[in-house]
Amino acid sequence: MIAGAAAVLVGAGLIGVAMQARPVPPLPIGPGVLPAVVGLGLLGVGAALMVARREPHDPAPSRPDRTGLTGLALAIALPLALAATLETVGVALGLPLVLAPLLAWHGMPPGRAMLLAVAMTGALLALLGGLLRVPLPLGPLAGVPPWT
């Protein structure tokens, strides 16, 4: 029911986008064709899902508690904070600050969580930067690893 309603809303939005797209002269078609088709499809599928009955063996999703919602907020907010600061802080300093609070949230002692987060980050950096030569932002630590 909720998935169907969301599909109908997104479908209506895409049809709005399609109506604003300018066709490619001299033809009456252009960048609005696919958004219109996808939008109509979403309207149709959404309507079908809204009228469909829940099957008896369909398990209803469990209702999350406050602790779960806090954990979810943490798991979303910390990576987004990393995205906002990655170019400045770098992977070596930024990633442990994401991983350590998540490990601690799941019950690991804070000191051990920070140690493990730093070790995991070091292993990832050595593998990607050192072995595979994939350039990663290092922030203030640029030039410190032996492969840079």
Partner 1 sequence: MTPAALGAALALLLTPQVLAVMAGAAVLGLVVGALPGLTATLGVALLVPFALLLEPLPALAGVVTLAAVAITAGDLPGALLRVPGTPASAAYAEAAHRLARRGRAGLALGTGLVCAAVGGVAGALVLLLGAPALAGLALHMSTVERFWLAVLGLSAAAVVAGPSPPRGALAVLIGLALALVGLDPVSGQPRLTFGLTDLSGGLGLIPVMIGLFAVSRVLAHALDPKTDERAPPRIGPVFAGLGQALGRRRRAIALGGGVGVVIGAIPGAGADIAAYVAQAVARRLTPGRTKGEDDHDLDAIAPAGAANNAAIGGALVPATVLGIPGDSLTAIVIGVLMLNGITPGPAAFLLHGDTMAAVLLAFLLANLLLVPAGLLALALARPLLAAPPVVLMPLILGVCLVGSYAVERTTTALVVTMAAGVLGLLMERGRVPLAPVVLGLVLGPLIEEMALTSLMKAGGDPAVLVERPGALGLALVTAAVWGVPAVRAGIAHVRHPRDSD
CB neighbours (10 Å) of residue 120? Answer: 15
Which is closer to partner 1, CB of 127 or CB of 142?
A: 127
Which is closer to partner 1, CB of 83 or CB of 142?
A: 83
Neighbouring residues of 120: CB distance < 8 A, sequence distance ≥ 6: 95, 96, 99
Q: Contact 96/114 with Cβ under 8 angstroms?
A: yes
Least gap, CB of 71 to partner 1 (angstroms): 4
Least gap, CB of 6 to partner 1 (angstroms): 8
Closest CA to 86 of 103, 98, 74: 98
Q: How many CA atoms lie within 13 A of 69 on its CB side?
A: 5
Q: How many CA atoms lie within 13 A of 39 on its CB side?
A: 16
Least gap, CB of 146 to partner 1 (angstroms): 19
**Site residues for partner 1 per CB under 8 A:** 2-3, 7, 10, 14, 17, 21-22, 24, 27-31, 33-35, 38, 41-42, 45-46, 48-49, 52, 58, 61-62, 64, 68-69, 71-72, 74-76, 79-80, 82-84, 86-87, 91, 95, 98-99, 102-103, 105-108, 116-117, 120-121, 124, 127-128, 131-137
Least gap, CB of 143 to partner 1 (angstroms): 19
Least gap, CB of 57 to partner 1 (angstroms): 10
Q: Contact 15/40 with Cβ under 8 angstroms?
A: yes
